Amino acid sequence: MRRLSRTLAAVTLAGAGLLATAVPAGAATERAAQAARTATAKCEASWGSLPKTAATSAYKPLLDVRAGTHECYDRLVFDVQGIGDHRIGYRVEYVDQLRQDGSGDPIPVAGGAVLAIRISAPSYDPATGEARYPVHAGQPLTGVDLSGFKTFRDTRFASSFEGETLVGLGVRARLPFRVFQERNRIVVDVAHGWQSPR
């Protein structure tokens, strides 16, 4: 009789253990679904795709360009020589064709859409003419590797002309983007997709 009681107790405990794991699995699925809904809501970008501009109050050399990918967007960062409290001017807009300043020559950029990014920061030192961010027209941006990015497809240097640098950013499609200055940097974020408003 004791053996039967022990066997029944073991079967009962095993069954309870199965139920205990089954309930959390369902809860885990619901938590994952809720996290996906939250991530979607968090990634809704109301930035739009119209041109973004800002006036400049100082022209300092462009030192570097970097790229990074985030949960909701891909990011391109332009590092400008320290400028204190001055504003860095920019104009960022979708274009049908990227064209080199001065010559007007077309520069092919891969992707479903092309953002022309104009920064009020020459790729050379205005005082000496020395290259600060060395790259040639039509070439990919120096040091920018887009492997594994969700939105970015290509970068191309267009020109540095009359104190401004122009680059092309190829993206997967015409997607919402934002531009802002953070200390001595201009940041361009392009969302991974359009989300329906809730």
Please report which confidence band the pLDDT of residue 19 belongs to, taking 50, 70 and 90 as the band edges: very low
The pLDDT, as a whole number, for residue 13 is: 42
Written as one letter, the residue type at 32 is A
Does 198 map to a domain? no
Residue 114: CB partners within 8 Å, gap ≥ 6? 94, 95, 96, 97, 98, 168, 169, 170, 171
Asked if 34 and 81 sit in the same domain, the reply is no
Residue 155 lies in a domain: yes
Same-domain status, 3 and 81: no
The verdict on 67 and 36 lying in the same domain is: no
> Which of 36-50, 129-143, 184-198 is predicted least confidently?
36-50
Is the separation of the CB atoms in 158 and 100 below 8 Å? yes
| Judgement on whether residues 62 and 83 belong to the same structural domain of the protein | yes
Task: Answer yes or no: is 148 within a domain.
Answer: yes
pTM score = 0.77
pLDDT in tens, 119-131: 999 999 888 888 9
CATH for 93: 2.60.40.3500
Instruction: With cut-offs at 50, 70 and 90, classify the pLDDT of residue 9.
Output: very low
What tokens appear for 183 in the block? Answer: 């200390």
Domain that holds residue 121: 52-191
Calculate what percentage of the chain has a pLDDT beyond 90: 60
**What distance in Å separates the CA atoms of residue 177 and residue 175, rounded to the nearest whole number?**
6
Mean pLDDT of the chain: 82
The answer on pLDDT for 161 being more than 50 is yes
197 in a structural domain: no
Chain length of the chain? 198
| Beta-sheet pairing, 90-95 with 113-119 | antiparallel
46: amino acid identity, one letter: S
Co-location of 37 and 60 in the same domain: no
Does the residue 196 lie in any domain? no
End-to-end CA, the chain: 63
| Cβ–Cβ < 8 Å for 84, 94 | no
